[in-house]
Amino acid sequence: MTELDGRTFLVTGGNAGIGYATATDLARRGGRVHIACRSQAKGEAAVAAIAAATGSDLVSYLQLDLADLASVQRCAQAFLALGEPLHVLINNAGVGGQRGSTVDGFELHFGVNHLGHFALTQALLPLLQVSGAARVVNVASDAHYQAKGIDFAALRRRTRSITGLPEYAVSKLSNVLFAQELARRFDRTLVAAYCLHPGVVASQIWRRVPWPARQIMTRRMLTIEQGARTSLYCATSAEVADVSGSYYDGCRETEPSAVATPELAARLWEYSQRWITPSEPGQAN
Ligand SMILES: NC(=O)c1ccc[n+]([C@@H]2O[C@H](COP(=O)([O-])OP(=O)(O)OC[C@H]3O[C@@H](n4cnc5c(N)ncnc54)[C@H](OP(=O)(O)O)[C@@H]3O)[C@@H](O)[C@H]2O)c1
């Protein structure tokens, strides 16, 4: 028997960075780990690398493009078709500092970092609720403190800012609000929710920063293994079993932004629910 024997995990963006380090640690401790990635080649390479590093044959890959709500539904259906339980969903994948929109026309950061994960979580919640002491872990960021609120109209347009950073902050605030609202809506003993800042981590998220600036910048950052610690803490620690909806930084419960109010969380949930629901022909949602 190993520590996580019998526990099943789904990690989005498990092929790179913090998600990869998270999936590797879970596999090393005996968990059954599914990594959901947008690139099949990268996903399969990561499965092989994790298996080689840990000796686990309990790691597999699922196709998921969070920028495409149809892909999110296919991923959820593929997981449900496996007939396995799901104990921990780690909503980790993310983009930052980019510009664009998703297949469904949402601002890129919001669409990938929040709405895709919202849709995935909603599709898997019935399974999570019957799997036993399940958890949803949203990898947010301390960048969420920079968001002054949510302009809901702006979420339906491509990225406006040059840097993409204001939009990133809103998407990370959405990760926090989503965890808080999950905690309000669901019995903690069935599904508990957490959100966190992983630290400033030398992952591939900085890939657009030109070399050598990137090398100088990332030298002092946390490694991906250090960056995975708070995700792993929220996903597996008995210390947080009686908690739901809290925000963590450095494996410590921390006060999130004052902007993260129950009213805004409820509003975001309502919009998100409407936006992931296919509209009737001729009707806008
Ligand atoms: N690094 C930091 O300092 C830092 C700080 C605060 C918060 N975070 C958060 O930590 C999380 C992990 O980021 P990271 O630093 O590990 O970055 P990373 O190394 O760039 O990894 C991001 C992961 O997300 C995946 N991804 C991106 N777009 C996707 C899409 N449309 N569908 C599915 N997967 C997608 C990437 O896949 P590809 O490999 O195919 O691109 C990759 O697996 C993010 O939510 C990020 O916001 C990071």
pLDDT score for 163: 93
pLDDT score for 212: 86
pTM for this one?
A: 0.97
Catalytic-role residue among 20, 61, 145, 168: 168
Walking along the chain (285 residues) 10 residues at a time, the average pLDDT comes out as 90 98 98 98 98 98 98 98 98 97 98 98 98 98 98 98 96 98 98 98 91 90 98 98 98 98 98 91 66
pLDDT score for 278: 81
Q: Which CATH class is domain 8-276?
A: alpha beta
pLDDT score for 282: 64
pLDDT score for 172: 98
Q: How crowded is residue 264: how many other Cβ atoms within 10 Å of its Cβ?
A: 18
**Mutate which of 114, 201, 224 to test ligand 1's pocket (most atoms within 8 Å of Cβ)?**
201
Q: Long-range contacts of range 45-51, CB-CB < 8 Å, 24 or more positions apart?
A: 45/15, 46/14, 46/15, 46/16, 46/20, 50/20, 50/23, 50/24, 51/27
* Residue nearest to ligand 1 atom 47, measured at CA: 94
pLDDT score for 208: 87
Catalytic residue flag (residue 168) = yes
Q: Do the strands 88-91 and 8-12 form a parallel or antiparallel pair, or are they unpaired?
A: parallel
Q: Domain residue spans in the chain? A: 8-276
Residue 253 CA to ligand 1 center (angstroms) comes to: 23
Residue 247 CA to ligand 1 center (angstroms) comes to: 19
Q: Tokens for 94? A: 């993310």
Nearest ligand 1 atom to the CA of 202 is 1
pLDDT score for 1: 57
Nearest ligand 1 atom to the CA of 224 is 16
Q: Tokens for 196? A: 């966190």
Residue 134 CA to ligand 1 center (angstroms) comes to: 23
pLDDT score for 125: 98
- Separation CA 24–CA 5 (nearest Å): 14
